[in-house]
A and B are shown apart, each in its own frame.
Chain A
Amino acid sequence: MSKKISIDPITRLEGHGKIEIFLDDDGGVENAYLQVPELKGFEQFSIDRPVEEMPRITPRICGVCPMAHHMASTKAADAVYNVKPTETAEKIRRLVYNAYILEDHLLHFFFLGGPDFVVTPSAPPGERNILGVVAKVGKEIGLEVIKTRRQIREIVTHLFGRIIHPVGGLPGGVSKPLTEEKRQEFLQKCKDAVGFAMEAINIFNKIVLDNDEYVKLVTGDIYKHNTYYMGLVDDKNRVNFYDGKVRVVDPEGNEITKFSGLDYLDVVSEHVEPWSYMKFPYLKDIGWKGFTDGKESGVMRVAPLARLNVSDSMPTDKAQQEFERMYDVLGKKPAHNTLAFHWARLIEALYAAEKMVELLEDETITSDDIRNIPTDTPEEGVGIVEAARGTLIHHYQTDKKGIITAANLLVATVFNSAAMSLSIEKAAKKLITKGKLDDGLLNMVEMAFRAYDPCLACATHSLPGNTPLIINIHQNKDIIKTIRRD
């Protein structure tokens, strides 16, 4: 028998996320929270580098969403140079960005978050995995996921050079135009992707919505928090991953603010706790009231469900139908059900595919006018996009030669950090009683965290972005049980 060697890229770095659960004397949960390690210094590492280098460097922060960092950084560089990309460049950027969202969301639903739903949360650990998903949905669907993701990734590779370390974004534009031949080829692939995204929603509907137990789980109180929500919207208050204004709504759905660029500094503040390197952003005007939800607490949520909650509608037809269906089932908008993040993710995947078709049906996307050369003196700029996991902000200041003098990155998982801790604590309190700690229950605690699709490595600016999980159960100052998911 071979010995286990822990040199896998997943475990190589000290990138563990820890869920700490503290039991009281009766075996009930007194407290629970999420703890993450930190790799400090990325902002410092950025200083003295030309700002146009940042879109090539920042994708290295995270092996999970390099495209989101590349695009936020490119947009921040646009702002630093005060240059607008050409219309064609913007279309190409939107195409590539929607491709990233689509392939990332499909990966998450089928292979990462999927085991919770598709296989059932209480299934034995040996089945609650990717192989269990394939066994349940069929080998053909597994093949289709691989094929669709590959075809979509080809679009990114073709236009932006590399899928993992994209290089296509430049201040004022993009580096490569789209030919007519490729437009037609990609259009067909994106039409196929719309079909597959619909199929994914049908699978969700069949497996989850046709099962009362699942519906109760999704709509029940264990996974529910009345929080504020934040996400980018277009000028008609519709979901937009690439650009727009950041809209914030309260737990009743009323808009409390809409901002862009540097104004983020007036809206968001960060709370610090001694037990975590991860900061806890909150809405400045509402204030930090501790780890609690409700209208009085400034805790906010980002990511798929938050984006749908802050939007009045979806920009494409099929996604709009699914948007309406989701809110019909969940009963109201905003929906506060954490597990509905999975559902919203699939609706967004469908929107991304439809949006790509729309962009590729526009023949003007093949124009050669792909860049406005910057002419202004650089100074300061903010780039905001919606990463698959939520709002991502890059903020750079430079000297007059465009050399970075200060950088600040606010990533999606950090925006969700307080809510994730809340969700873990609530699920643990509801599920663990009298010290009963079976694997199924602990998995259900983890589900509260997994729904957010968090990227802890990214949150603390480390690589490779893969975060094994440790759960420690404490009682009377001792750790009585440790579970490692690695």
Chain B
Amino acid sequence: MKTLVLGLGNPILSDDGVGIMVAREIKKRVKGVDVQEASAAGFRIVDQIVGYDRLILIDAVQTRESEVGSLHLYKPEDFQETKHSTSTHDIGFFQALDIYKREGERVPEEIKIYGIEVEQTDVFSEKFTPKVKNALPAIVNQIIKENFS
């Protein structure tokens, strides 16, 4: 089974880059797994995941319902995206995936989405806030344990 770990976010927007940092750590520690990163969404990343059987997507989230630094696990069904044009530029990731599937492209059948609760995503900075920074080692361990051990 060909697996891709995809870290999403923006490494120059403080905690927003946490998914990318976690993906980079997984790359260092897990041999043989493909790891990519992207600061984009929708159609602009869907080409990166074509040809894989399993996708592990890691991103920052702000549910504001849990402790900063906590790890959430979602399924694609949790994202009830509208089929309308959500933006002037792009369509949602799962909508893009759906289009590719309908067009007969080989996209991952198994998709896990990890969301890391973050605090600050609206300041240009390459530093994480303390709670996110402190939570990182445990998050990396947990994702590796759940998927690669």
Contact = CB atoms under 8 A, between A and B. Distances in A.
A164 B40 contact: yes
Contacts of A165: 38-39
B5 to A, nearest CB: 16
A73 interface: no
Given A485-B85, A485-B86, A9 B99 contact: no
A254 B130 CA distance: 58
A231 interface: no
A45 B39 contact: no
Interface of B: 8, 10-13, 16, 38-45, 47, 59-63, 74, 77-93, 95, 99-100, 102-105, 115, 121-125
A214 interface: no
Contacts of A450: 88
Contact of B83 (A57, A129, A454, A463): A129
Contact of B125 (A14, A45, A130): A45
B10 A60 contact: yes
Given A60-B11, A129-B84, A5 B39 contact: no
Contact of B13 (A125, A463, A469): A463
Interface string A367-393: 000000000000000000000000000
B92 A10 contact: yes
Contacts of B44: 63-64, 164
User: Size class of A's contact patch?
Assistant: 35 or more
23 contacts: A4-B80, A7-B115, A8-B41, A9-B93, A10-B92, A44-B124, A45-B12, A60-B39, A63-B44, A64-B44, A112-B89, A126-B83, A131-B99, A134-B99, A139-B103, A146-B100, A146-B103, A463-B16, A465-B40, A465-B90, A466-B87, A466-B89, A485-B84
B87 A468 contact: yes
Given A45-B12, A60-B10, A463-B10, A8 B92 contact: yes
A390 to B, nearest CB: 14
Residue among B41, B78, B89, B95 with most chain A CB within 10 A = B89
A146 B123 CA distance: 35
Contacts of A39: 13, 122-124
Contacts of B83: 126, 129-131
Interface of A: 2-5, 7-10, 12-14, 17, 39, 41-42, 44-45, 57, 59-60, 63-64, 66, 107-108, 111-112, 115, 125-126, 128-131, 134, 139, 142-143, 146, 149-150, 153, 163-165, 449-450, 453-456, 462-469, 485-486
Contacts of A164: 38-40, 44-45
A99 to B, nearest CB: 14
Nearest to A153: B47
Interface of B is mostly: loop
A64 B91 CA distance: 12
B42 A466 contact: yes
B18 to A, nearest CB: 12
A446 B38 CA distance: 29
A454 B124 contact: no
A8 B12 contact: no
A468 B87 CA distance: 5
B10 A464 contact: yes
